[in-house]
Structures are given as C-alpha cells and as structure tokens.
Amino acid sequence: MRGKVSEVFGSIQGEGIYLGEKQIFVRFFGCNLSCRFCDTKLDSFKEYDPQELFEEIKFHHDDYHSVAFTGGEPLLQKDFLKEILYSTCCYGYKTYLETNGTLTAELEDVIEYLDIVAMDLKFPTSTGVEKHFWQEHRDFLKVASRKQVFLKGVICESTSEEDLNEALDLIKECDKSAVLVLQPNSLEDSALLSSKLRHFKQLCRKENIASCVIPQMHKIIGVR
C-alpha cells in the first residue's frame, strides 16, 4: 500500500480553535472538491508506504501538540490514512484530521484513531460549487461528534445568510456543543466582509451557537 503525500513539515496551526499550537503537518494529495477560495493548489506528491511516512513523522523531535492530517482531502486515501493513524496512535501522538466533511463512510472507518476533527462546512455561496453538501455534512458531523470536533466555514462577500442559517440548523440538530469558526476569505478584505462577519456572529449568538471569527493567521504572520 502506498499513499500520495505532498509534504510533511513542522509548523504552528494557523486556523481554528487550535490556533498557535505546534503541529506536524502531513499534507495529502488530491481533493474531491474544487472551491473557488482554495489556497492549496497541489501539483506534486511523493509516494510513501505507511512505515516510510511514519518514520518521517518521527523525524520531527520537537514537542508537538499533535499530528495534523490535512490536504487536499485525506479521507480520499482512507486505507492508507487508516494505517498511518494506527501507527501514530500506538506511538502516543494525538491525531488531528482536517477534512471537507463530505466523506462519511470513510470517516466511519477511521474515527476510532482520531482525537480531533476539524470539519469544514462548504457554504454553496462561498465555494462557488453548484452542488450543496448539507446532507453529507449532517451525516458526517454525527460520526465526527464521537470525538472532539469543531466546524469551519469560509465567509466571503458572496456568502448568504441562508447558508449560515442552514449551518446553524445543522449544528443544532447534530451537535449543539460544536464551535463554529467563521473564517474570513483570505483573498478578500473589505468593509462588506467585515460587516457580514459581525452580523453572522450576532446570528450565531441569537441561536446560542458558540462561534468565533478567526482569520488564517499563518498567512498574516508569514509561516507555513
């Protein structure tokens, strides 16, 4: 078994509620979506077998909070991911999955080896993708909620209030304790976007959903 991995490196987490934590990042190649705001355009990879990748992870000797499996979409390589998750768990690493939240059957097969799930909510008016994934997100969150999970939604000038309300309904239905991170689109910087973020935060508070506005801080401070 061999997996396609674009890079392995140590850095700090720049997004979400674990902002600032030191992590070992394993970036998987390939994604099943094509969001217009995507800032991770992967065009190369190295093939590893699970033991080779595990040895490269262990090469990072510093005091890291966790190993972040990101992409792309790691769950597209579910069998390979499962093998490397098993090894990292047995070694005592905390495991952190960054995912677009659409591949529920694949998550079901690896959930026992995960500690933290950072799950995206793909708002149709943000992604520019015609298909919506609300049912996939519902199914996914029900499985992810067996472990610690938080949600991220990229907010753009184009993001509609209807999409946010759909997300809030989903959270209330599936896991009302999950925190929703409102992540401003890093490609936009406008008064309209700032106003929308404030308004969306108020809507979350009105529905008693815990939320926070966190930009992609690694881009602001200039780290990977």
Q: What is the DSSP letter of 157?
A: T
In the prediction, which pLDDT does 161 show?
98
| 181 in Cβ contact with 211 (< 8 Å) | yes
- Rg of the chain taking only CA atoms, in angstroms: 17
Q: How far is CA 1 from the centre of its chain?
A: 25
| 77 in Cβ contact with 28 (< 8 Å) | yes
Fold of 3-221: TIM Barrel (3.20.20)
Q: Residue written as tokens 């690896």? A: 110
SS3 of 61-129: the string is: CCCCCEEEEECCCHHHHHHHHHHHHHHHHHHCCCEEEEECCCCHHHHHHHHHHCCEEEEECCCHHHHCC
In the prediction, which pLDDT does 130 show?
78
Overall residue count recorded for the chain in this entry: 224
Domain ranges of the chain: 3-221
Closest CA to 28 of 42, 38, 10, 14: 42
Helix-strand-coil percent breakdown of the chain, rounded to 5?
40, 25, 35
Residue 146's Cβ-side half-sphere holds a number of Cα atoms within 13 Å equal to 14
Q: Show the tokens assigned to 206.
A: 């009105």
Angular region, 198: left φ>0, alpha ψ -120 to 50, beta rest: alpha
In the prediction, which pLDDT does 88 show?
97
CA dihedral 95, 55, 65, 108 (to 10 degrees): 0
In the prediction, which pLDDT does 129 show?
80
Whole-angstrom Cα distance, residue 212 to residue 189?
18
In the prediction, which pLDDT does 218 show?
79
In the prediction, which pLDDT does 162 show?
97
Indicate the pTM of the whole model: 0.95
Whole-angstrom Cα distance, residue 219 to residue 224?
8
Which residues in the chain come in under a pLDDT of 70?
A: none
